[in-house]
Structure 1
Amino acid sequence: MTIAIIGAGPVGLTLALLLHRAGHDAQVFEAADDIAEELRASTIHPPTLDMLDGLGLAQPLIAQGLVTPTWQIRRHEDGERAVFDLSVIAPDTAHPFRLQAEQHKLSRLILALLPAGMVRFSCPVETVTPDADGATLAGPAMEPFRADWVIGCDGARSVVRKTAGLGFGGETYPETVILATTAFPFHEVMPGLSNVNYIWTQHPAFSGTFSLLRVPGKWRASLYPAPGESVEDALRPEAIQRKLQAIHPKHGAYDVPDLRPYRVHQRIVENYRAGRLLLAGDAAHLNSPAGGMGMNGGIHDAFELAAHLVQVLQGADDAMLDRYTRRRRPIAEREIIAQADRNRARMRETDPARRAEMLAEMQAIATDPVRAREHLLRSSMIAGLRAAALVP
């Protein structure tokens, strides 16, 4: 049978590699002319590393990233913080840490393991025409391609999802996030900083919060327009400098080689399958980046989908694929979208007294081994995977 995957991000490439290793090659179509290297996901959670290890990818990726044994919620003005140490989940994972590595590094590692020609770059798919036994793909740079199965790993604007007529219910948050990178070593001037930090502040340059995530050689700062500040004004060089100087005042301007604004969505489809059309990753669900679960959830989709699709390709009834939705959708809704929404709501809190209460509660959890393990099993996505595995 012929399989088409639309989208050569980490989700589509992971799925392609899993199918290839099982003896079922897929054709991957990607609109861009190469692996995208702009600012995207950078956090790899422990169970994702466990999965990638089975493909021989964990150690090469770890070698290109930053092992991050702790993450924290922090109050900027005095440095008071709740620090979560992932060593407490060592009995539950072979990788009790977060890895900070840009997603393009994973994508390139996977691409190197796929046969030449399996991924077609500069090949956008504009139409998917389904029939009883598959679908035909067409685009300006390709001959019509007939596939028995089509899998949309093509993101928020998925042509596969739109063709399938699957609604994408949810909401778009009102705020715009501005992602900026700088090589300035915040870890050298902010005592006790982790590689992943969610930070409250009362500084008027912000709307109450920012985050600092470290990757090799640079820091990624998630900034927000100040109250009453338009997105356009917040993107001006002087506004970006004002925000970074508010994080740490220094002599001279910050060098900011990368800058990208984006809106945050919370959306999910009702079904990950419509006949021979299937969805994974952002094509099926979108969530706040707070907690770093979006890309990881998409990779988990790829593993679950591959496990079911391979059985169908080997002769099992294709109704088995309905279990893919039953296993992955509730986890995306409850453990990814809802948890990311709670993370966002906590960091959007502006009342100092309420912040103090929340920080004290997080500190109490972080310092209690039993509660810390329970919290980290959820925030590291292990609890959700365990719940999904129990779905009959």
Structure 2
Amino acid sequence: MNEQQQQAEVIVVGAGPTGLLLAGDLAEAGVKVTVLEKRGAEISNLSRAFAVHARTLEVLDSRGLADDLFALGGRRLGELFLFGRAKVKLSGLDSRFPYVLMTSQYNVERVLRERAAAAGVDFRFDHKVIGIDQADGSATVRTDKGDFTATYVVGTDGVRSAVRQAVGIDYPGEAVLRSMMLADVELDEPPAESPAVSGANGAFCFIADFGDGLWRVIGWNAADQQDDDAPVSSDEIRTALRLAFGTDFGMHEPNWSSRFHSDERQATAYRAGNVFLAGDAAHCHSPAGGMGMNTGIQDAANLSWKLAAVLRGADPALLDTYAAERHPVGEAVLRASGRIIRVAANKSRVVGAVRGAVLGTALKLDPVQHKVTGLISGIDVHYPHAHGEHRLTGDRARDVDLADGTRLYEALRARRFVVLDSALEDSAVARATAEPDGTARVVRPDGYIGWAGADDPAAIAAYLEAHAGKL
């Protein structure tokens, strides 16, 4: 191997939130990880993501990172408002985090990068991927700065993923809206509720408070459509706000602004040989609901422990469950965000007059409210289980108090399986006792229940042998 060819166990392409969480997880599990990023080392603050939902906060909490993110600022919101009258009540979520944290993606990346660097991840910035070759159970990533070889490669490099293109995975879909505007601004007369969504007169806007004096505005005006590379003027944003809300809220000049188009796309496969896709490289959708970054982070949480386990001797078939579990989630988020954006952008005066009232009435029904909040927050994501398995298998594990005075999500910080309420003796896993209910549980490192039933140490040991490797 020459000096231009570097060896790792896993190569992660892309240093956004998805790639950073994945790389940090793997490194903390003892896996040798290299991250390739085409950008420079500076973290960009020019990003669309701004919402960290409850399930993602749980993911961060189970890594000891939630408090670090809170320390960087942001605003915790227990309610979301749609079209004036429709209220999504996150405050009723069955979680330690019954709200959405409004904070910049910059803050999320900062916390995740510091953790990954401390765990020993090898970062290679200014490296552009130009191809991938697979042979003999490994993959070589060719870049403009040399070649890198690993057992597995994960593309977390966004909607224009070089990894996805290199392995020939299709990315079908369509552009839902073009010429969407994005800006961070100060407001002299801010709205009473935040975040808020409104649409009227052929325009719609989303507006949210970061808690630091800045407001994120996402706007669209059917009468003003320009190319993505066209600069955004202050007047364009003010016009969209006035059309949608009836006021521009005393908007100042933007701190920064950009223009983009909103696509709905999903990769036809999340894997090609030893190459995987996660985050926007696997799925992209409208910013409605703020679910994009969150879905990608949860992709990474699902995949990271499986890669680590297989590298340490678990059944390689475990990796097939990544797409089986996460592809349906990406599809559901794509559908949900698409519905919101289409309702918001509908030009019909009749639709505009009734949508807030109709949505508001529907969201007063508990089953509807529960379904909407569960999907947006990620709390109700459930993974399929085989016929005959316990009904709890595939459910998210609730954070519970343990007999030793700690919490389940604190026990998960060791990046190992946690066995609850079992007589099993195995030094490779964390054992804990919660309030007994007659059911033993094996909680996977991503916080989902992998096995449940009456205590059966032999059955639990067999599950762990296939799924845990030598973690």
Q: CA deviation at 1:164?
A: 1.4
Deviations 1:229-267 (A, max 9, x none): 54588834443344456653577x722121100011111
CA contact (8 A) 2:13 2:154 kept: yes
* Greater helix fraction, Structure 1 or Structure 2: 1
Specify which of 305, 329, 332 is matched with residue 307 of structure 1: 305
**Cα distance in 2, alignment partners of residues 127 and 249 from structure 1:** 47
Which structure is larger by alpha-carbon Rg, 1 or 2? 2
Query: What amino acid does structure 2 have at the position aligned with 1:210?
Result: C
**Cα distance in 1, alignment partners of residues 310 and 275 from structure 2:** 14
SS in 2 for 1:36: coil
**Cα distance in 2, alignment partners of residues 31 and 217 from structure 1:** 32
Q: CA deviation at 1:39?
A: 2.7
Specify which of 209, 213, 219 is matched with residue 208 of structure 2: 213
**Cα distance in 2, alignment partners of residues 327 and 104 from structure 1:** 28
Specify which of 96, 99, 108 is matched with residue 98 of structure 2: 96
Specify which of 348, 353, 359 is matched with residue 351 of structure 1: 348
Greater RCO (CA < 8 Å, at least 6 residues apart): 1
SS in 1 for 2:86: strand
Q: Structure 1's 250 and 331: CA in aligned 2 closer, same or farther, altered over 3 A?
A: closer
Q: Partner of 2:38 in structure 1?
A: 31
Q: Partner of 1:143 in structure 2?
A: 146
CA contact (8 A) 2:204 2:221 kept: no
1:62 has 2:57 as partner: no
Structure 1 stretches of 5 or more lacking a match?
A: 75-79
Superposition pairs for residues 257-276 of structure 1, below 5 Å?
Answer: 257-276=255-274
CA contact (8 A) 1:233 1:239 kept: no
Deviations 1:297-324 (A, max 9, x none): 1001001101211221111232221110
Q: Partner of 1:124 in structure 2?
A: 128
Deviations 1:180-222 (A, max 9, x none): 11122543xx33x12x2111223xxxx3311102213311111
Q: Partner of 2:196 in structure 1?
A: 197
Q: Structure 1's 129 and 259: CA in aligned 2 closer, same or farther, altered over 3 A?
A: same
Q: Structure 1's 48 and 363: CA in aligned 2 closer, same or farther, altered over 3 A?
A: same
What is the TM-score when the length of structure 1 is the normalising length? 0.88
Superposition pairs for residues 231-242 of structure 1, below 5 Å?
Answer: 231=227, 235-242=232-239
Query: What amino acid does structure 1 have at the position aligned with 2:125?
Result: F
Give the paired residue count.
374
Q: Partner of 1:297 in structure 2?
A: 295
CA contact (8 A) 1:156 1:282 kept: yes
1:166 has 2:162 as partner: no
Q: CA deviation at 1:145?
A: 1.4
CA contact (8 A) 1:88 1:369 kept: no
**Cα distance in 1, alignment partners of residues 370 and 343 from structure 2:** 20
CA contact (8 A) 2:204 2:240 kept: no
CA RMSD, aligned part only? 2.4
SS in 2 for 1:129: strand
Q: CA deviation at 1:358?
A: 2.5
**Cα distance in 1, alignment partners of residues 383 and 317 from structure 2:** 23
Q: CA deviation at 1:81?
A: 2.0
